[in-house]
Amino acid sequence: MKELLEGSMIVAKAIQLCRPGVISAYPITPQTHIVEELAQMVADGHLNAQFVNVESEHSAASVVLGSEATGVRSYTATSSQGLLLMAEVIFNIAGMRLPIVLTDANRAISAPINIWNDQQDTISLRDAGWIQLYAEDNQEALDFHILAYRLAEDKNIMLPVMVCMDGFILTHGIETVDMPTQEQVDKYLPPYKALYKLDVDNPLTLGPLADPDYYTEARYAIHETQKKALALIPKLTAEFAKVFGRNYNGLIEGYQIKDAERVIVAMGSVCGTIKDVIDELRKKGKKVGLLKITSFRPFPAQEIYEALKNVPKVAVLDRSVSLGSFAPAASEIKACFFGKTKKPKVISSFVAGLGGRDITKDSIKEIYSALTQKEKTCEFIDLKPELLKENYE
């Protein structure tokens, strides 16, 4: 049924439909509405789950680690500093192969303090072993949570999934979505039956010491599973389409890409703005397209190679930075083409939209115009040079 709701309410409803048994979270802007709504649902008896109040994000992550270890479907949500405070536990959750789903309302990282959107928080945890899916709009945010549990709990995967949605732009954006029925979700997402769990009758240790004789294999196994997820995601999205009627590739999405001479690569809500700009440029006869990356972990290198190998010029738009190096997505996109014969002549890298600086249609047009023969490395868009002058005299 079509409903008009705030992004946070949409996610809360999606989680309700997924029937988690334990939810634990600590409020942080712009994630707060999601867990407030879930707490309300639990209090009102509309969701049969235990909501555990905690004093910090580190504890929230620890609670869901524990509950998931007992074989109960668990959920948490956070943002920015909250995700960083969870970081230690985040790595543990993946290492212990616990299929938790977490929503991150993407937000900038301090200092300076900034409550607004960029993607630095989740990008900074890309190596934790979690699967990371980035939503373009609130329909995707809704659908990806349902997909996330199915993917995470698959017995060949058993890895946690982070659904990343742009803070404020999506979490506080009121949009029309097609809300699935409980029957549809139940059909797609069966009750969780843990492969292994903490059980007093069958004692088990999770996350013990693994000395140099064992540690490498534990990490290798996660790496191999990430590759398996690359193959599984398109199968799960195909099944998703049959139940819900919405088609996702789940790894990447091409828009106007077939004959494109210039392609912009991006993740998250900015892809919508880019699509509007592409339509405008196409009307003027410019052959331009978008490659949206949905799954950043696992990174779909082969799919990206196939999509871009015949495109002469590629621009990668990062909404985060790897200070002192190449921009995060840009360096990985470039890596897809090293040593290949077929490849773009130019792969330029742009950084925009940090700490909530608005990415306008003009920002995208500037990237398009700057995508020339001369390759750009980590070029900041909409930079204000007047703010960079220093004077300590």
Partner 1 sequence: MKEIRIHARAGQGAITTASLLGYAYFTKGMYPYAFPNFGAARMGAPMNAFVRVDSKPVRLRSQIYEPDYVIIVDATLMRGFNCFAGLKEDGIAIVSQREGVEIPKLKAKQKLYVIPANDIAMKTIGRPLGNTALLGAFAAASGELDIEALTASVKQRFSGKALEGNIQAIQQGFDFVKNIKK
- 3-state DSSP call for residue 169? coil
Among 21, 36, 72, 172, binds partner 1 (CB under 8 A): 172
Question: Which residues 104-133 are close enough to bind partner 1 by CB under 8 A?
Answer: 115
Contact yes or no for 19/73 (Cβ under 8 A): yes
Provide the minimum distance between the beta carbon of 273 and partner 1 in the complex, in angstroms, as a whole number: 5
Please tell me whether residue 60 binds partner 1 under the rule CB under 8 A. no
How far CA 238 is from CA of 15, 191, 245, 294, in Å, comes to 21, 20, 10, 15
Please tell me whether residue 12 binds partner 1 under the rule CB under 8 A. no
Among 169, 351, 367, 381, binds partner 1 (CB under 8 A): 169
- Residue among 6 and 303 whose Cβ is closer to partner 1: 6
345 CB contacts (<8 Å, ≥6 apart)?
A: 312, 313, 373
Q: What is the DSSP string of 231-268?
A: HHHHHHHHHHHHHHS----SSEEEES-TT-SEEEEE-S
Q: Token pair of 316, please?
A: 């990668």
Question: Which residues 216-275 are close enough to bind partner 1 by CB under 8 A?
Answer: 269-270, 272-273, 275
Q: What's the angle, vertex CA 122, arms to CA 21 and CA 125, rounded to 5?
A: 95
How many CB atoms are closer than 10 A to CB 352? 23
Please tell me whether residue 176 binds partner 1 under the rule CB under 8 A. yes
Site string for partner 1, 148-167 (x = CB under 8 A): ------------------x-
> Among 89-97, 170-178, 218-226, 384-392, which window interacts with partner 1 (CB under 8 A)?
170-178
Please work out the total of residues on this chain that contact partner 1, with binding judged by CB under 8 A: 23
Provide the minimum distance between the beta carbon of 272 and partner 1 in the complex, in angstroms, as a whole number: 3
167 CB contacts (<8 Å, ≥6 apart)?
A: 29, 30, 31, 79, 80, 105, 106, 107, 115, 116, 117
Provide the minimum distance between the beta carbon of 275 and partner 1 in the complex, in angstroms, as a whole number: 5
Question: Which residues 326-385 are close enough to bind partner 1 by CB under 8 A?
Answer: 358-361
Provide the minimum distance between the beta carbon of 209 and partner 1 in the complex, in angstroms, as a whole number: 44
Binding site for partner 1 (CB under 8 A): 4, 6, 29, 115, 137, 166, 168-169, 172-176, 269-270, 272-273, 275-276, 358-361
